[in-house]
Structure 1
Amino acid sequence: MTEISFKTISIEGKDLSFTKNLKKTLTSNKVAIVLPTENPELRIELLSEETEKRILSLSGRGLVREFEIFYRVRYRIKTSDSEIWNEEELIETRKDFTYSDSNLLSKEEEERKLNEAMRNEAITNLFNQIQLIKK
């Protein structure tokens, strides 16, 4: 468990796919998730989440051999003593993976697991950013 200087945080904005895990990470570090009306010490507004998939390489026959996948989350933060929100921040993670039509099901599962790992990495990155903020 890591020390965090905020005891109450509100998570606002879009209900993104990692919101639940972010809340779990915060509560496991003894942070109460509260409503914005309860004057939290820190407010996090989740603005957007997106995934992207790009072809990295093709075989000699023009078949996809390798993909690059991205996961991005945009957010902004406001402390209780601040009148305005901080600048919008971006967390981006990316992974490469090989592709094969002959292993379609296993490759789809691999892609799903990579997306989940990138989402968890984004949560860790956001948590680390919160730790750096001082009251």
Structure 2
Amino acid sequence: MNPVFREILVALLALTLAACGFQLRGQASLPFETIYISFPVGHPIGIDLRRLVQAGTTTRVVEKAKDAQATLDILSVANDRQIMSVSEGGRVREFELRYRVTFRLYDARGTDLIPANEISLRRIIPYTDAQAVAKEGEEAMLVREMQSDAAEQILRRLEAVKLAAAAR
């Protein structure tokens, strides 16, 4: 390929990307400097949230609630599945996977910044008895993806919080 043609092609691609509004995700900007994250034992969403805050923001995650400007309290985490359709023979054809997280954000004085709020995610998974083992793996992967998605949604909601000037 001609080097001049290649440079023109690269420039056109860069211009097209810039024109469409694409930009890499930068750091999230949380309105508080420190946060404490409380979550039920055994639920990896808390670990995901800690990682997202530590890696993607300038906010520090502290180990004690009394040291934090804000506390994110994961009140409940639940995932379940429900049969969506069955065949004429009564065999399951589709499941709906559901993942729900209830959380609350409050400041050091206990004032709600985000009152108890629920994020609910759903995914449909087709099912056949012949692929039962593979479908179990797919289900586990979808639940993990929903958990990561929920953590990212919570982080975006934290970004939208407005603190009173006196509280900062």
- Normalising by structure 1, what TM-score? 0.92
**Corresponding residue for residue 91 of structure 1:** 119
Aligned pair count reads 133
**Corresponding residue for residue 33 of structure 1:** 61
Shift of 1:30: 2.4
Match status 1:105 vs 2:133: yes
Aligned with 1:7 (options 33, 41, 55): 33
Shift of 1:84: 3.1
**Corresponding residue for residue 16 of structure 2:** none
Match status 1:76 vs 2:104: yes
Q: In structure 1, what residue type is equivalent to 2:70?
A: L
Match status 1:128 vs 2:156: yes
Aligned with 1:64 (options 64, 67, 92): 92
CA distance in 1, matches of 2:100, 2:39: 16
Q: CA RMSD in A?
A: 1.4
Can you give the 5+ residue segments of structure 1 that lack an aligned partner in the other structure? none
Can you give the 5+ residue segments of structure 2 that lack an aligned partner in the other structure? 1-26, 164-168
Shift of 1:31: 1.9
Q: Secondary structure of the equivalent of 2:115?
A: coil
Identical-pair percentage: 25
Q: Which has the higher contact order (CA 8 A, sep 6+)?
A: 1
CA distance in 2, matches of 1:14, 1:84: 21
| Greater percentage in helix | 2
Shift of 1:17: 2.2
- Normalising by structure 2, what TM-score? 0.75
